[in-house]
C-alpha cells in the first residue's frame, strides 16, 4: 500500500489534495422536493435527529489492502471531505417560498420533523431564477430575473455566485430544478466561442440550465446535473470545465426504477439469460410528475431512462440474447400519491433452450428520500474533485456515474451503467487519489 494508516488518518505518502478547511457553499438550482429534502436532512443529521441513510460519503466504508488486513475505514475518514457542519446552503427558484415553505409544500418530510427544523429552513430564501417557460411548459415562474439577453442573465448568475463566494470558502452548484424540454446539440454547443455568441444572440438551443452551468463553470465552480436536460453534456461545457478546473458530472439522479434496472440487467447478462421485453411504468404525483406530464419534458426523461439497457446488454456482442428487446417506459402523473412514486416492471426473460420466464418488480418508493443522499454525495465529491490535482482539470467526473441514470463519459467512450462496476470505479478512484492500492478482486494471492 502507498499509505500508512494511523487512527484512520493518512500520515505518509498522501498526494497533495487540498484540505477541506472552512465552509463549503452549496448553491442549489431549484429548491423543490429533492433540494429541500436534502437540506432539511442535512440539518436533521447535524442536530442528531436522524442518520444519513443512503449516503455513501457519510455511512460508506472502503476496504484497503487485502481481505485479511481487516482495514475498512469510513470513506469520510479516508478522503478529505467537507464535514456536514461546514456545509452552507443557498439556491435559486422561480417561486419565492423559503426552504421551509417549499418542503412543507412537497410533503416529503413529516410535519413534526419540519417544525423542529423550521427556524433554520426559513432562513434559506431563494435568489430569483433564470427561467423561460418555453423550456418547462407546466410552470409559471414569478420570481425570475430579467435581462437584455442570455449573456446578461448569465452575468447576473455569476454575480450571485461571486457574492456567495465572499461568505464561504468554496462553492459547488447542483441542478435539482425541473426537467426541461428535449434539446439536442447544435452548432452553438460545439465550442466556448460559439456558446458565448449564442448567449449574446439568445440562441433557442441555450436553455436556462445551460446558463446556470455556464455561470458556475466560468466562476471555476463545479456543477452537477441532477436532471436529464442537455446541460453540461456537450463540447463547450466540457471545454469550459477543463479550462477553469471546474469538475462536472451528469446527468439525472439514478434513484428508483433505473437503479433497480442497473442491478437486475447485469445479473441477467452475467448468467447469459436472454431478455425479450422490459416494460416499466410509474405513477407519480409531485411537481416533478406534473412537469413530466408535458410530452416535451417527458421525452427528455424517457431518453435518459432508455439508454441503460442497451449499454448493459451489449446486443452487438450477444445478439441471441438481447437483439430484440422491447423496452417501454411510462410515467403517469397521478396526484394522490404525491412524492410516493410506485413503479412496476414486467421483465420477460428466457433461459436454457429458449424457455420463457417472467419477473415482476413493484417498487413503492419515496422519490426524494432516494434522491437527497445522492445530491449530497455529488456535492461533497465534486468539492473533493475540485481540491484534487489529478481530477480538477479533467472535466467529466466519470467516477460519479454511480449516482446517475445517464452518465456522461469521454467522447467515443461508452458509459458504464452497471451499478456495481460504477461502485468499484468510484471506490478505486478514491483509492487512486489517496495513493492506496487498487482492488482488482483477483484474489489468487490468498492461495499461494
Ligand atoms: N426525485 C427523484 O428521484 C429524481 C430522480 C432523478 C431526477 N430527478 C430530477 O430532479 C429534479 C428535481 O426533482 P424534484 O422532485 O425536486 O422536482 P420539484 O418540481 O419538486 O422541484 C424542482 C424545483 O425547480 C424549480 N425550478 C424550475 N425551473 C427552474 C429554474 N430555471 N431555475 C430555478 N428553479 C427552477 C421549481 O420551481 C421547483 O421548485 C427534476 O428535474 C427531476 O426530474 C429527480
pLDDT digits (tens, 9 = 90+) for 261-311: 999 999 999 999 999 999 999 998 888 888 888 888 888 877 777 778 889
Distance between CA atoms of residues 362 and 376, nearest Å: 27
- Tell me how far the alpha carbon of residue 328 lies from the centroid of ligand 1, in angstroms: 24
Give percent above pLDDT 90 in the chain. Answer: 83
For residue 339, the ligand 1 atom closest to its alpha carbon is 15
Q: For the segment 115-158, what is each residue's pLDDT rounded down to a tens digit? A: 999 999 999 999 999 999 999 988 898 999 999 999 999 999 99
For residue 365, the ligand 1 atom closest to its alpha carbon is 3
- 56 alpha-carbon distance from chain centroid: 13
Give percent above pLDDT 70 in the chain. Answer: 97
By the 8 A CB rule, do 209 and 134 touch?
Answer: no
The greatest distance separating any two alpha carbons of the chain, rounded to the nearest whole angstrom, comes to: 71
Candidate of 33, 107, 157, 178 to mutate for ligand 1, largest count of ligand atoms within 8 Å of Cβ: 178
For residue 256, the ligand 1 atom closest to its alpha carbon is 3
The number of beta carbons lying within 10 Å of the beta carbon of residue 49 is 13
Candidate of 29, 31, 34, 341 to mutate for ligand 1, largest count of ligand atoms within 8 Å of Cβ: 34
Could you check whether the bond before residue 251 is cis, i.e. omega within 30 degrees of 0?
yes
Distance between CA atoms of residues 82 and 26, nearest Å: 11
For residue 370, the ligand 1 atom closest to its alpha carbon is 3
Residue with cell 400519491: 337
When computed from its CA atoms, the radius of gyration of the chain, rounded to whole angstroms, is: 22
User: What are the C-alpha distances in Å from 227 to residues 133, 189, 444?
Assistant: 17, 18, 42
Cβ partners under 8 Å of residue 80, min gap 6: 17, 18, 19, 20, 384, 387
Q: Residue 96 is placed in which grid cell?
A: 419565492
Residues with CB under 6 Å of ligand 1 are 29-35, 92-95, 106, 129-131, 136, 139, 176-179, 208, 226-227, 252-253, 255, 286-288, 291, 367-368, 370-371
Cα-flanking dihedrals φ and ψ of residue 139, to 5°?
-115, 145
pLDDT of residue 297: 83
**Atom 21 (ligand 1) nearest CA:** 32
Cβ partners under 8 Å of residue 306, min gap 6: 327, 329
- 398 alpha-carbon distance from chain centroid: 11
**Atom 31 (ligand 1) nearest CA:** 131
The number of beta carbons lying within 10 Å of the beta carbon of residue 71 is 17
User: What are the C-alpha distances in Å from 394 to residues 40, 77, 178?
Assistant: 32, 25, 28
Q: For the segment 360-402, what is each residue's pLDDT rounded down to a tens digit? A: 999 999 999 999 999 999 999 999 999 999 999 999 999 999 9
By the 8 A CB rule, do 422 and 400 touch?
Answer: no
What is the pTM for the complete model shown?
0.94
Cα-flanking dihedrals φ and ψ of residue 264, to 5°?
-75, -45
Residue 337 DSSP symbol: G
Is the pLDDT reported for residue 6 higher than 50?
no
Across 408-437, average pLDDT: 94
By the 8 A CB rule, do 186 and 134 touch?
Answer: no
What is the number of helices (H) and of strands (E) in the chain?
16, 12
Q: Residue 361 is placed in which grid cell?
A: 418488480
Residue with cell 488486513: 69
In sequence order, the β-bridge partners of residue 259 are none
Amino acid at each position: 500500500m502507498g499509505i500508512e494508516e494511523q487512527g484512520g488518518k493518512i500520515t505518509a505518502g498522501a498526494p497533495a489534495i487540498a484540505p477541506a478547511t472552512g465552509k463549503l457553499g452549496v448553491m442549489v438550482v431549484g429548491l423543490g422536493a429533492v433540494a429541500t429534502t436534502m437540506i432539511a436532512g442535512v440539518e436533521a443529521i447535524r442536530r442528531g435527529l436522524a442518520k444519513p441513510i443512503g449516503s455513501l460519503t457519510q455511512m460508506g466504508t472502503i476496504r484497503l489492502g487485502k481481505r485479511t488486513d481487516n482495514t475498512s475505514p469510513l470513506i469520510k475518514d479516508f478522503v478529505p471531505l467537507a464535514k456536514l457542519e461546514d456545509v452552507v446552503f443557498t439556491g435559486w427558484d422561480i417561486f419565492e417560498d423559503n426552504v421551509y415553505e417549499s418542503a412543507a409544500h412537497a410533503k416529503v418530510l413529516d410535519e413534526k420533523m419540519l417544525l423542529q427544523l423550521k427556524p433554520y429552513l426559513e432562513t434559506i430564501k431563494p435568489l430569483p431564477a433564470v427561467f423561460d417557460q418555453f423550456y418547462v411548459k407546466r410552470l409559471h415562474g414569478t420570481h425570475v430575473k430579467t435581462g437584455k439577453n442570455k449573456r446578461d442573465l448569465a452575468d447576473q448568475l455569476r454575480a450571485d455566485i461571486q457574492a456567495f463566494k465572499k461568505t464561504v470558502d468554496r462553492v459547488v452548484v447542483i441542478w435539482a430544478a425541473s426537467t426541461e424540454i428535449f434539446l439536442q446539440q447544435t452548432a452553438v454547443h460545439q465550442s466556448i466561442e460559439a456558446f458565448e455568441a449564442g448567449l449574446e444572440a439568445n440562441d433557442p438551443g441555450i436553455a436556462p440550465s445551460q446558463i446556470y452551468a455556464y455561470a458556475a463553470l466560468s466562476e471555476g465552480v463545479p456543477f452537477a446535473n441532477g436532471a436529464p436536460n442537455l446541460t453540461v453534456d456537450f463540447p463547450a461545457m466540457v471545454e469550459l470545465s477543463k479550462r477553469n478546473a471546474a469538475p462536472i458530472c451528469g446527468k439525472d439522479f439514478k434513484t428508483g426504477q433505473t437503479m433497480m434496472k442497473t442491478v437486475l440487467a447485469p445479473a441477467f447478462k452475467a448468467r447469459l439469460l436472454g431478455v425479450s421485453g422490459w416494460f416499466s411504468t410509474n405513477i407519480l404525483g409531485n411537481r416533478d410528475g406534473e412537469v413530466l406530464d408535458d410530452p416535451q419534458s417527458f421525452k427528455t426523461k424517457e431518453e435518459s431512462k432508455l439508454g441503460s439497457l442497451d449499454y448493459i446488454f451489449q446486443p452487438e456482442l450477444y445478439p441471441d440474447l438481447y437483439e430484440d428487446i422491447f423496452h417501454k417506459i411510462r410515467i403517469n402523473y397521478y396526484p394522490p400519491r404525491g412524492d410516493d412514486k410506485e413503479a412496476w416492471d414486467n421483465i420477460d426473460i428466457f433461459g436454457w433452450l429458449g424457455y420463457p420466464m417472467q419477473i415482476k418488480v413493484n417498487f413503492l418508493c419515496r422519490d426524494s428520500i432516494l434522491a437527497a443522499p445522492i445530491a449530497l454525495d455529488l456535492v461533497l465529491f465534486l468539492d473533493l474533485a475540485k481540491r484534487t490535482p489529478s481530477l480538477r482539470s479533467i472535466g467529466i467526473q466519470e467516477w460519479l456515474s454511480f449516482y446517475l441514470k445517464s452518465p456522461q463519459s469521454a467522447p467515443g467512450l461508452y458509459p458504464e451503467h452497471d451499478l456495481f462496476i460504477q461502485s468499484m470505479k468510484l471506490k478505486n478512484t478514491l483509492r487512486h487519489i489517496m495513493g492506496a492500492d487498487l482492488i482488482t478482486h483477483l484474489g489468487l494471492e490468498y492461495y499461494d
